[in-house]
Amino acid sequence: MMPDLPDPPSRLAPPGVALKTDIVVIGGGQAGLSAAYHLKRAGLEGRTGFVLLDAASAPGGAWQFRWPTLTLSTVNRIHDLPGLPFSDVVAPGETHVQARVAVPRYFAAYERTFDLPVLRPVRVTLVTRHGGRFKVETDRGDFSARGLINATGTWETPYIPTYPGMERFRGQQLHTRDYHSAQAFAGRHVVVVGGGISALQLLDEVSQVTTTTWVTRRPPVFREGPFDAQAGHAAVALVEDRVRRGLPPASVVSVTGLPVTPAVDAMRARGVLRARPMFSDIVEDGVRWADGTRLHADVILWCTGFRSSLDHLAPLMLREPDAAGGIVMTGRLATQVAKDPRVHLVGYGPSASTIGANRAGRAAVSELLATLRAG
């Protein structure tokens, strides 16, 4: 006998009817919640003034899907959302708590505290222009809005580069997004691909239970000393310059470098930080470099990052038609789309960090409301 399946979520609007609101915010992570807070502060009422549509079934954004060993002691700092300190919800001493537990707890408290009009689970499938407004199509009905704040982040769009021979590899291939525990790889040789912070974190964990090889496309650059405010502003400026010119956002580590932590020092002492250059192709039982050198591998762990989740905006034709395929951004913090000022992307480019998302939410709301008033 088949088990009973849960009833699907009810429709929010009947077929052929679009619920009207002034602004739709897409995505319930840090950037989306920041934008919702500032919309509420600006006097917009829930549902008629704005709604936040979140595809997840519970608060927490992408944090709720992170691997179990990522705790508050190992994650990059969780920055406060406006109006409610993180420490009011999660005690500073709870560093052992899993990030996928602590951050959703904080986000849920934030939504309750400010009575934000969050609708979930609602997955946006397509956004089109319709009679001077935006038609936002979802799996639970349609919405009609004057303005749009997109805060969908990157978690839904993992990136794995294409290499010859991928299809014939007899081992296991998985992405950072699929990682749960290093113990699953015990007794197998793991090739960790990627030069970012996530690659370092997973290399650290996996190398403690089995043998590993670290492979990077570019030689990794480690940053000695503190990452102060001046260095942070310089890094953000580099990313901002790219998106203002219509180029795809660069990875964070490409402009900040890798921080040297006690864990990194311990990895060096164990001899696991010897990065090898990128292999040229994949063979049945491993990888191969251009000079013919082969390496046996049971697992290829692709820590190769994510891309911005913007496919639902494709009908708006926001991207540049040239080979770069980026979006020209404008506005005070580069959140406003030049081709359509009624669209803001927060958590994109220079606002991809948690502190950047907070600032971007406020700027996007201010500029979008000014645009709508002028229109």
pLDDT above 60 for 2: no
pLDDT above 50 for 267: yes
Share of residues in the chain with pLDDT > 70 (%): 92
The residue among 365 and 74 whose pLDDT is bigger is 365
Instruction: Pick the closest to residue 235 from 223, 247, 246, 245 (CA basis).
Output: 223
Q: What is the mean pLDDT of the chain?
A: 90
Q: What is the pLDDT of residues 84-99, one digit of tens each?
A: 999 899 888 787 889 8
Q: Give 304's pLDDT tier (boundaries 50, 70, 90).
A: very high
Residue limits of CATH 3.50.50.60 in the chain:
18-156+306-374, 166-221+257-302
Q: Which CATH superfamily is domain 166-221+257-302 in?
A: FAD/NAD(P)-binding domain (3.50.50.60)
**What pLDDT does residue 221 have?**
86
Spell out the alpha helix ranges (H) of the chain: 30-41, 99-113, 197-207, 229-244, 252-256, 262-270, 354-374
Beta carbons of 239 and 347 less than 8 angstroms apart: no
Measure the CA–CA gap between 149 and 125, rounded to whole angstroms.
Answer: 15
Average pLDDT over residues 16-42: 96
pLDDT above 90 for 43: yes
- Cβ neighbours of residue 284 closer than 8 Å, sequence gap 6 or more: 168, 169, 170
Share of residues in the chain with pLDDT > 90 (%): 69
pLDDT above 70 for 355: no
Half-sphere exposure of 338 (CA within 13 A, CB side): 12
Measure the CA–CA gap between 163 and 156, rounded to whole angstroms.
Answer: 22
User: Among all chains, which residue has been given the structure tokens 């930080």?
Assistant: 273
Q: Give 225's pLDDT tier (boundaries 50, 70, 90).
A: low
Q: Give 5's pLDDT tier (boundaries 50, 70, 90).
A: very low
For domain 18-156+306-374, the CATH architecture is 3-Layer(bba) Sandwich (3.50)
pLDDT above 80 for 48: yes
Q: Give 1's pLDDT tier (boundaries 50, 70, 90).
A: very low
Beta carbons of 148 and 22 less than 8 angstroms apart: no
pLDDT above 50 for 117: yes
What is the secondary structure of 67-87 as a DSSP string?
A: -TT-BTTTSPP-PPBTTB-GG
**What pLDDT does residue 272 have?**
94
Q: What is the pLDDT of residues 240-249, one digit of tens each?
A: 889 999 988 8
The residue among 32 and 237 whose pLDDT is bigger is 32
